[in-house]
Amino acid sequence: MSSGLMFYWLSWMFFVYVLFFMKYDKHQWFLMYWILIIMSTSNMYMTLTVLKFSIAYIVLFIGSIMFLLQTNHRLFHFFSSFTLAIAYASFLVWEHETPLLLFFPKYLVLPSFIVLIAIFLMNEFKNRCFVSLVGACGGELLYHISLMAYTDDYTMGHDIFFDLCAIIITFLTVIALYERMIDKLLMFFTRILQRP
């Protein structure tokens, strides 16, 4: 499961959704090319002095930051991303010590943890997604910086990281669809109850 197959499978689903079901505008083109570049560079790695990272990690980080720079509440979004980065790095530090991972896989616990925090911090679906991605990338960087004194074989943006990011976006998408369905049902029942 740690080979990145989940990432590729979900990324192709996101790409098909963006290509065929999103409104035709500049955001659609940006997301479409962004997803393709991330998928095509996910197996390319680079080393700068002591930092080893995937090129797709840099593309994901920069693209998410570019989206957050276009929003109105930049300071709040970056503070929320920093909060998620600390949560992500803390989870990675404590992942071998927590008994929760004895019962549930990391692929469920960490994305659920990040998604719950993102839901409490953000209201809109797009903001939740991009704040979660910036937080996950920042948490990966923070974790790598904290491990540099102990090991030198850790790579930022490995396959497990991209699997986790894809699962985070999938969870956020499912929750957004659930919220939209609840809103439609509430509107339907209020119309029925308001009839004379």
Spatial distance between the Cα atoms of 30 and 9, rounded to a whole number of angstroms: 20
pLDDT digits (tens, 9 = 90+) for 144-170: 888 877 776 778 888 888 999 999 999
pLDDT digits (tens, 9 = 90+) for 92-128: 888 877 777 778 888 888 899 999 999 999 988 889 9
pLDDT digits (tens, 9 = 90+) for 38-47: 989 988 888 8
User: What pTM was estimated for this model as a whole?
Assistant: 0.89
Helix (H) or strand (E) holding 186: helix 159-194
**What mean pLDDT comes out for the span 21-29?**
80
Containing domain of residue 161, as a range? 5-194
Looking at the structure of the chain, the number of domains it has is 1
Spatial distance between the Cα atoms of 68 and 72, rounded to a whole number of angstroms: 9
